[in-house]
Amino acid sequence: MVLDRPGAPTTRRQGQRIVRTVDPILVFGPWSERYDLGPGHPLTPRRFGPGIDLIRAVTAAAGGGPIRELAPEPASDDELRRVHDAHYIDVVRRFSEQPLGGWEAGLGPGDTPAFAGMHEAAAAVAGGSIRAMEAILRGEAGHALHPGGGLHHAMPDRASGFCVYDDPALAIARARRDGLRVLYVDLDVHHGDGVQAIHGDDPGVITLSIHQTGRTLFPGTGFVAELGEGTAAGTSLNLPLDPGTGERGWLAALRSVLPEVAATFRPDVVVSQHGADAHAWDPLADLRVTTTAMGAAARLVHSIAHRWAGGRWLATGGGGYDAYRVVPRAWSLVWLAASHLDAPAAVPTAWRERWAGEAERYGQAPLPDWLDDEPNAGLRLDGTQEAADRRAVETAGLLRELAVPALVRAATDLGWWSALDDLQPDGIGPASAGVAQSARTAGVRTPAPADHPEILDAVDAATWAGLGLADRVIPPGEPVAAHALVLAALRGGREVRVTAGVAGGLIVGAVVSAVPEGRRLLLGLGVAPDRRHRGLGAELLRRHIERGGGVPGTAGSEWPAGSAAAIEPWAAVVTVAERDPAEPLARAMREAIARRLLERVGFRIERAAGLVGAADPGAITARRG
């Protein structure tokens, strides 16, 4: 399998910027249309005709050059076995030769009927995503779009939900084989259960799925409490939405969580699934998302790939059952984002004329005039949708509490630093380039070998600005961004307090707290990997507490035991979010360490209550004073 022409860096104007890119890959070829579950099946290969045609038409309209295409071919059994059981592959082969053989392993009458040549066709979908990932890893392309991919329901040992082999999971496995951390973003209306199940025990993969709640839609999973276990606790993230949720709630929920998760995890590659079935016109689900929101989401994922993953991004298609009015526009908007092209407003007239008759025959007419929808897809905004949109934002708020470190959340909420604002609208580099540059020389220094770091009890903005920050001390994941966040916090009020361990001009440990309202909140405590297990974290926390009035009665406390000033009111909440994404400890170990550190300085520990405690049984709240 080879590309039809080699990729080469090109320059292209986007808005007022000139960007240098490697042209993306479009994964499509003869095998794509052979994944055919039957003439009456909702996942119809008919979508490829208008879909690929519109991609080509809008690329030309936007001033793009020739499209590089990669024709998928079947993956080998060895490749499929990276996520699928050997016995299951044998079952698929058998049904492929004898499609009327009953029902087994999710194949047969129902959602995923067997068909002649099924194994080869499904393996070609898998092969397309694997080869696209390999092209990205080799640097032959920064981005790739596989419209026929995104079969995210397939499990290791069975088919499910129209999906035979799980191509996104296989592409992720290919990247993981090279040791790369992967962020998977699933925008389909159905929960990305297969990818979550396959990679749910791998702390090197974060899956984030936004979908209609499993209480009302297949596959019945994808709830907030599905956070993962062991060392992977906190890597399975879900935003389940009520029926009727519209573009405002859907996009607001995604924007509030995804950038912070990406900034904290700092992936090496991004894989996304852009199912178009969340659209208001889709016949199989009940959300009211628009192509406008889908295009914005695609550009958000694209920006994240450039900011945190070196531009490495594999996008796949997925569901979408309005094959003429919605799917072609959704695919085209993803492709335009990957191509660094501004989307033209109008759907090309020639395309509408070519496909109008077929769309009418299948009851999906008239074809839209514009790539973006009318507000709310032309539907009346009613009380049910407004309530669902509010609940979407509330659900995102809960997931933030669970999955985003307290320091990153506080930075956003208090206006110090925002992962969303840190993204360039066109995806090229950090938006906060000025801030990042001011910290760049401070954020990347070689750690000094001093055995006993000096502890600075009262770090002010000037002192912090003059020091470097070691990697993996505090979130977000990149030390330049973490340095900029704390510098902005020190300049931003809220009684921010920072205690730091410094060796050779480099911060190798830090504690950060602030007083947003009432109690002082412990926001972050971390130590560089090569300084851990030496008591530095405990010493930093003790000194940090003592500076504000201290641990009553301890040596060095500014106030005598029992005085009012000695008991400054403190609070802390520790969830699955508080971990080192590069080398996370098991969930139980994280909790034990947090308890021990906090109890030593006089905090009272309780299990977290309310929605946080219900979703994360290991979460704790701590108070003192």
Rg (CA), the chain: 26
**Concatenated DSSP letters of 398-429:** HHHHHHS-HHHHHHHHTTS--TTTTB-TTSSS
The angle at the Cα of 91, spanning 88 to 96, to the nearest 5 degrees, equals 130
Q: Return d(Cα 209, Cα 187) in angstroms, integer.
A: 6
Q: Are 149 and 29 in contact (CB under 8 A)?
A: no
DSSP β-bridge partners for residue 273: 186, 316
Q: Is 623 exposed, middle or buried (0-12, 13-18, 19+ CB in 10 A)?
A: middle
Which tokens belong to 478?
């990149």
Which DSSP category does 97 fall into? H
176 HSE (CA, 13 A, CB side)? 20
Q: Please choose, from the candidates 559, 574, 549, the residue with its C-alpha nearest in 3D space to the C-alpha of residue 625.
A: 549
Query: Which residue matches tokens 């296989």?
Result: 170
Which residues contact residue 524 at a Cβ distance below 8 angstroms, ignoring those fewer than 6 apart?
Answer: 405, 406, 407, 474, 475, 510, 511, 512
Q: Return d(Cα 302, Cα 425) in angstroms, integer.
A: 9
Q: How many CB atoms lie within 10 A of CB 380?
A: 6
Which residues contact residue 227 at a Cβ distance below 8 angstroms, ignoring those fewer than 6 apart?
Answer: 233, 234, 235, 236, 237, 402, 403, 576, 615, 616
Which residues contact residue 533 at a Cβ distance below 8 angstroms, ignoring those fewer than 6 apart?
Answer: none
Q: Return d(Cα 130, Cα 512) in angstroms, integer.
A: 43
Phi and psi at residue 444, to the nearest 5°: -135, 80
Q: Which amino acid is at 595?
A: R
SS3 (DSSP) at 195: helix
Strand order in the sheet with 143-146: 68-70, 25-27, 143-146, 313-316, 269-273, 182-186, 205-212, 236-241
**Concatenated DSSP letters of 135-182:** HHHTTS-SEEEETT---TT-BTTB-BTTBSS-HHHHHHHHHHHTT--E
Q: Return d(Cα 296, Cα 471) in angstroms, integer.
A: 32
Query: Within its chain, how far is the Cα of 138 from the centroid?
Result: 23
Active site residues: 153
